[in-house]
Amino acid sequence: MIQFAWPWAIALLPLPYLIYRWMPRAEQASHAALWVPNLAPFTSDAAQTGSVPRPTSRLRLWLTILCWLLLVLACSRPQWLGQALELPVSGRDLMMAVDLSGSMQIEDFELRGNKVNRLTALKAVAGEFIRHRPGDRLGLILFGDQPYVQTPLTFDHTTLTRLLNETVIGLAGKKTAIGDAVGLALKRLSSDKGARNVLILLTDGANTSGQIAPEKAAQLAADMALKIYTIGLGAETMETGVLFFKRTVNPSADLDETTLRRMAEMTGGQYFRARDTAELAQIYQQLDLLEPVEKEKNIYRPLTDLYLWPLGVTLFLASLLLLGSRSRGWS
């Protein structure tokens, strides 16, 4: 259907008539004149040559009126109201904090049969998780020596996924500031007590940098009703070396599971352990169950402005009138 954003503009329709009816007429410009005893010779010559002045062309008058009608129509901003669309909105703000410290480059994960580092596996699994959260506002925090916001809270999940895929290890430093990452999330998330705020923190180490201790940050999060889900990344066994000199090591020896579990418990969240890509994918499925997407819908009807059409026709007709005036064909 068509609607008008500014219907009051229709009141401008009688404006030209009101100006013609009530405004004082402009004074005629003075020109040089030839004084003669009478006009008989001139009128007879004019009649013979057929050059008697004619009234304003009716076509020109109607085109002028049509231009004004179209111009007023454009001013009223006609809009096409499209079909109603249902948008799922959960009212939840979900922030992801991703560790980019140097240890994330350890290749102890597999993706489609190939050995990959921890960050690459995280990108693949987190991308699917983001795609299935249409009702949430999502944000992305990257942290190393210091945290910073890569993507503020947004419904534009396509851009968020692209920016996550563009991250590189060491971008935020080589160390791990877990407490500061939580503190930055508290600043970016809503402080409203009724807000449904969730933080998913992914790391493969311990807090080795920053100004805020992880437990202190978790206490602040609990006071502000921020629920934290922590995920510890990294395999428990890995073979290193070449040929006959291979040995088995624990690449996750630096993972501080005690602190991560404590942070989750303090905020009403949960701690997960991801030793491989399959476990990481399973964790995100569990998060979908713990934080389900709401089924409530918001109705949205797209609007398309149509004022360009009457405005374009007005400009075209005005050009014709201008050309007609210069050629003296319509006067």
Q: Of 135 and 225, which is predicted with more confidence? A: 225
**Among residues of the chain, what percentage have pLDDT more than 90?**
38
CB 273 within 8 A of CB 279: yes
| Phi, psi of 47, rounded to the nearest 5 degrees | -65, -35
What is the DSSP annotation of 64-107?
A: HHHHHHHHHHHHT-EEEE---EEEE---EEEEEEEE-SGGGG--
Nearest to 272 by CA among 234, 225, 237: 234
User: Strand 303-305's sheet: what is its strand order?
Assistant: 2-4, 78-81, 303-305
pLDDT tens-digit map of 176-218: 999 999 999 999 886 655 567 899 999 988 999 889 999 999 9
Q: Are the CB atoms for 144 and 172 separated by under 8 Å? A: yes
Beta strands in the chain (DSSP E): 2-4, 78-81, 85-88, 92-99, 109-111, 114-116, 137-143, 147-154, 196-203, 226-233, 238-240, 247-249, 271-274, 297-300, 303-305
CATH class as words, domain 88-297? alpha beta
Q: What is the DSSP letter of 236?
A: S
Q: Are 265 and 258 in contact (CB under 8 A)?
A: no
Q: Where in the chain is the domain with CATH 3.40.50.410?
A: 88-297
**What gap in Å lies between CA 253 and CA 232, rounded to an integer?**
11
pLDDT digits (tens, 9 = 90+) for 77-118: 999 888 876 665 656 788 999 999 988 988 888 888 888 998
**The pLDDT value given to residue 165:** 93
Tokens of 62: 């109607």
220 near 123, Cβ under 8 Å?
Answer: no
* Banded model confidence at residue 275, pLDDT cuts 50, 70, 90: confident
Supply the pLDDT for residue 197.
87
Instruction: State the CB neighbour count (10 A cutoff) for residue 77.
Output: 16
| CB of 51 closer than 8 Å to CB of 279 | no
